[in-house]
Amino acid sequence: LPGHGQTPCLGYVHTMEEMADAVKAVLDHLGLRRYVMVGHSMGGYVTLAFAERYPNHLKGFTLFFSTARADSDEKRIDRDRAIEAVKHNHHRFIRQAIPNLFRPRSRDTFRKEVNHAKAEALKTPLQGVVAALEGMKIRPDREVLLHFGPCPVQMICGERDPVLPFKMIEPQTRGKKVTHLLVTENGHMGHIEDREECTRALLDFADSL
């Protein structure tokens, strides 16, 4: 994604649409035409933008600990606070933010994985973090895609997700296109905290398409 890994920043704001375009460019370069897309957290917002812009390329997609709704007014205020914190000391922000994605008891169980996640996140430049936060803040509501989208949708959520509590996500799981649902017992990082269960659910969804 722009502003992540070895991909430079495009500007002060990276919209979800711009990120979706970047993903599409990579898939085109690889010669792929039809695929199942899985988007974790912000990646889910990118996936929704992709589904809106390139519907004919998706066989299905998974919102993996993500939401189809736009930020609430309260959440936008939180994003602004996060942006200021990043600008003040972006390494400290990352070191504090990453562990908070996990259920409290998971932080000890998966200490090695938490430290690895922090190390990877610390490679993201300050402007990459800010641009992503700004882009998430202004993304539109795309819940309509869960009812009238181009393909089947899977949703995987965490019962104790500190970022996107299941009680907030649950109404979205009733979308007509949501054909597969998994609710894990842990936090926001299901690919670590509930790896086997999530992997099995993802493969079952892909095999059903």
**Helix or strand or coil: residue 61?**
strand
108 burial level (CB within 10 Å; 0-12, 13-18, 19+): exposed
> What is the distance in angstroms between the CA of the first residue and the CA of the last residue of the chain?
26
pLDDT at 25: 97
Tally of helices (H runs) and strands (E runs) in the chain: 10, 4
pLDDT of residue 107: 94
| pLDDT cut 90: percent of the chain above it | 99
Summarised one tens digit per residue, pLDDT across range 158-190 is 999 999 999 999 999 999 999 999 999 999 999
SS3 158: strand
Q: Convert the pLDDT of each residue in 2-54 to its tens digit.
A: 999 889 999 999 999 999 999 999 999 999 999 999 999 999 999 999 999 99
Mean pLDDT of all residues in the chain?
97
All residues at 6 or more sequence positions from 152 whose CB lies less than 8 Å from its CB, including other chains: 60, 177, 179, 180, 205, 208, 209
Contacts of 209 by beta carbon, 8 Å cutoff, 6+ apart? 36, 59, 60, 151, 152
